[in-house]
A and B are shown apart, each in its own frame.
Chain A
Amino acid sequence: MMPTTRMMRSGPWKEAPVATSFADREFQVCVTARLVEDDRTYWVAAGGGPMYTVLLAKRLYAPNAVYVTEDGIVAAEPILPLDPVMTVVAAKPSYRALQWTTMNGIGDHCAVGYLDYGILNTLQIDPYGNINSTWVGTYPTVGRRVNGPGGADSIAAMCPRTILMTDHQRRKFVPRVDFISSPGYLDGSAGARQRVGLPRDTGPWAVVTSWAVFDFDEATRHMRLRAIAPFVSLEQVLDEMSFRPLLPEHLEILDPPTEEELAIFRSTMDSAGQFSDASSHWVVQEDDRWVMVAK
């Protein structure tokens, strides 16, 4: 149960004109969109990368993928671009849905098993895919509070497969998160999730960063590098992590974004640049090589 080489290496994007200039976060959205399966249900964190990912996938690769958000919107065909912050409850993201229910409604759909995949953002992540979105520092006396789990705890607890998105930065990949807001494989031991009441056969499935894709080793549940961007080296990827992931037998090189992916993303989702502005790096093609420059 892991992202397959086929998902990363073959698809319609192979035939499409390649982009020559993009932010590394735009690359991340395109790569995640290629992992979206058609005819599957997704509970996505409302707004930001997770929602962009499924919207982009529906336009290009998985037209019958269905997504829900925690405010009770099921299978919308939203009017894009959305107004700033108005990614939930509002009229445009609600448009042409198949159902408007409530937060308890979506929680029920997930608890009984109708929602196949979750897609989440993370602030901090550890080798077992536990994520922190609550507190940076020593809880609760030193440091600062962030937003809390929101809907992420339910998604991470109850979806069979959860895709985690994060920027590729050393401070994000930590040996131990400051606070477990949403569960990964906990201490990594066999049965750890079921021992605390979580449904069986659930948990993190992939981690997609602005530079790389990871999965989790089936025996140890430890994070494993699977593929890297064409514009970074293995050393760069490992240097920007505070723990060492398992390494694969064969390291895949991911395809760059296509012009079409970026055109759709920039015009209908990131239309004010609110997402790509937070990228750490810009990537350009020079002659036959990729050059990455810090922003």
Chain B
Amino acid sequence: MDKRTLEVIAEGDGAYLPVDPDDFRDAVGRKTRKLVSKVMTAEEAIARFVADGDYVVWDCNYLQRGPSALIREIMRQRKTKLWAGGKFTWVAVALLVEAGCCDRADMGFFMGGPGMNRAILEGRFTVYEYSNVVLTVRLRAGAMGVTFLPVRSLGGTDNFRYSGAKLIEDPYTGQPTVIVPALNPDVAIIHVHQADVHGNARIFGAGITDVESALASKKVILSAEEIIETEDIRHNPGLTKIPYYAVDAVVHQPFGSYPGECPGCYASDTEHVAEVFTAMHSDGLGEYLQKWVYDFSSEEEMLGKRVGLARLRDLQRRATVREGFRP
């Protein structure tokens, strides 16, 4: 058989987070293996583990079982120059851009509105183009400790041109193949149904890229609806999706996905969902952030004063489907 060389046929010119799996291993090597409590407040977790300039990835989104409370805390603390993994995300990137937290994003799916559009045209916000699945494949590569993975999509699109992808002649088949760079974010924020104090975490239902995000990221912050005993974890270890040693912080955050739905726990706040979409499309995100984020020093205060117990109870009552969302 002829010896093949790996030829790059074409490549995109988008910037991408530098790929360095040994550097990532070093970061993993510095994390504790001790079974210690990592429980802390959202304020402390974001202050300690999200730095200005970090690449931040979240699982799901602001409206669907995402870490909405942690995203609000990032904005409350006025983090800057974040690079967002913008996959499967309706409004979160637009909120972070409006808050001045985020100056670039990898695109899978997110909505913008006039505020984001101004930021793009004025050069305050840059977007690199991928797709939802290509971003989750990049995280999978990051979670495998390898530098890239081939995909059967992206080729031929303008996403390819403005991304970090390359078209190569595959050394095994000789056929053109698209490869995409691994992604090892600085920090992942993930909302889970249940976790113990060490960070062993259970997530119920369909999802996007929870496990890959946790294993691919240098720092991992979980928010959990419920803190459970490690004994409960040991009684049904097959339910553990994220192992404790990947986790740096566990935030006990009931209603952590508000205004989104956390399946099996509470429904979405449909009025709030309509409000944030309207604000985004009518250039009103500044007022939205004041009302729902900046006016309060913590999530507990926001939920208590702005949402109120009666409404929270109603959201719980509307979560009529429990099958599959409980052990």
Is residue B147 within 8 Å, beta carbon to beta carbon, of the partner chain? no
Chain B residues, CB < 8 A from A181: 157-159
Cβ–Cβ contact A83 & B261, under 8 A: yes
Cβ–Cβ contact A148 & B133, under 8 A: no
Q: A141-B121, A149-B108, A183-B155 are in contact. Are A89 and B133 (CB under 8 A)?
A: no
**Residue-by-residue, is A94-113 near B (CB-CB < 8 Å gives 1, otherwise 0)?**
11010011111011000100
A residues 98-139 with Cβ under 8 Å of B? 100-104, 106-107, 111, 134, 139
Cβ–Cβ contact B133 & A83, under 8 A: no
Q: Give the top 5 A-B pairs by smallest Cβ distance, nearest first.
A: A196-B155, A150-B109, A157-B153, A153-B131, A72-B206
**Residue-by-residue, is B98-131 near A (CB-CB < 8 Å gives 1, otherwise 0)?**
0000000001111110001100110000010101
Cβ–Cβ contact A94 & B324, under 8 A: yes
- Closest chain-A Cβ to B28's Cβ sits at a distance in Å of 21
Once the chains are docked, how many angstroms separate the CA of A102 from the CA of B65? 13
Cβ–Cβ contact A157 & B321, under 8 A: no
Is residue A193 within 8 Å, beta carbon to beta carbon, of the partner chain? yes
- Closest chain-A Cβ to B116's Cβ sits at a distance in Å of 7
- List residues of chain A with CB under 8 Å of any chain B CB: 70-73, 79, 83-86, 88-92, 94-95, 97, 100-104, 106-107, 111, 134, 139-141, 144-154, 157-158, 179-183, 186, 192-199
Chain B residues, CB < 8 A from A186: 156
- Closest chain-B Cβ to A112's Cβ sits at a distance in Å of 9
Task: Kindly identify which residue among B60, B110, B132, B210 contacts A154, using a CB–CB cutoff of 8 Å.
Answer: B132
Q: A72-B207, A194-B176 are in contact. Are A153 and B153 (CB under 8 A)?
A: yes
Once the chains are docked, how many angstroms separate the CA of A291 from the CA of B39? 66
Task: Kindly identify which residue among B153, B158, B206, B261 contacts A86, using a CB–CB cutoff of 8 Å.
Answer: B261
B residues 50-72 with Cβ under 8 Å of A? 60, 63-65
Chain B residues, CB < 8 A from A104: 133, 136-137, 140, 209, 212
Cβ–Cβ contact B127 & A157, under 8 A: no
Q: Which residue of B lies closest to A93 (CB)?
A: B206
Chain B residues, CB < 8 A from A196: 155-156, 160, 167, 176, 178
Cβ–Cβ contact A72 & B117, under 8 A: no
Chain A residues, CB < 8 A from B178: 196-197
**Residue-by-residue, is B248-278 near A (CB-CB < 8 Å gives 1, otherwise 0)?**
0000000000000101100110100110010
Is residue B205 within 8 Å, beta carbon to beta carbon, of the partner chain? yes
- List residues of chain B with CB under 8 Å of any chain A CB: 60, 63-65, 86-88, 90, 107-112, 116-117, 120-121, 127, 129, 131-134, 136-137, 140, 150-160, 162, 167, 175-178, 205-212, 261, 263-264, 267-268, 270, 273-274, 277, 319-321, 323-325
Given contacts A89-B263, A103-B132, A145-B127, 7 further A-B contacts (CB under 8 A): A86-B63, A100-B206, A139-B158, A148-B129, A152-B131, A157-B155, A198-B155
Cβ–Cβ contact B137 & A149, under 8 A: no
Once the chains are docked, how many angstroms separate the CA of A192 from the CA of B156? 8
Q: What are 10 sample pairs from A and B whose C-beta atoms fall under 8 A apart?
A: A70-B132, A79-B321, A91-B261, A91-B321, A104-B209, A148-B131, A157-B152, A183-B155, A195-B176, A196-B178
Cβ–Cβ contact A150 & B263, under 8 A: no
Chain A residues, CB < 8 A from B108: 148-150
Name which of A95, A101, A157, A193 has the most chain B CB atoms within 10 A of its CB. A157
Q: Which residue of A lies closest to B263 (CB)?
A: A91
Once the chains are docked, how many angstroms separate the CA of A175 from the CA of B121? 26
Q: A94-B263, A157-B154 are in contact. Are A70 and B133 (CB under 8 A)?
A: yes
Once the chains are docked, how many angstroms separate the CA of A103 from the CA of B156? 22
Once the chains are docked, how many angstroms separate the CA of A123 from the CA of B155? 20
Chain A residues, CB < 8 A from B132: 70, 103, 149-151, 154
Cβ–Cβ contact A91 & B155, under 8 A: no
Once the chains are docked, how many angstroms separate the CA of A182 from the CA of B63? 25
Chain B residues, CB < 8 A from A134: 107, 129, 158-159
Once the chains are docked, how many angstroms separate the CA of A100 from the CA of B264? 14
Chain B residues, CB < 8 A from A194: 175-176
Cβ–Cβ contact B111 & A147, under 8 A: yes
Chain B residues, CB < 8 A from A88: 64, 88, 206
Chain B residues, CB < 8 A from A84: 270, 273-274
Cβ–Cβ contact A100 & B136, under 8 A: no
- Closest chain-B Cβ to A156's Cβ sits at a distance in Å of 8
Cβ–Cβ contact B157 & A100, under 8 A: no
Cβ–Cβ contact B261 & A149, under 8 A: no
Q: Which residue of A lies closest to B61 (CB)?
A: A89
Once the chains are docked, how many angstroms separate the CA of A157 from the CA of B175? 16
Chain B residues, CB < 8 A from A195: 176
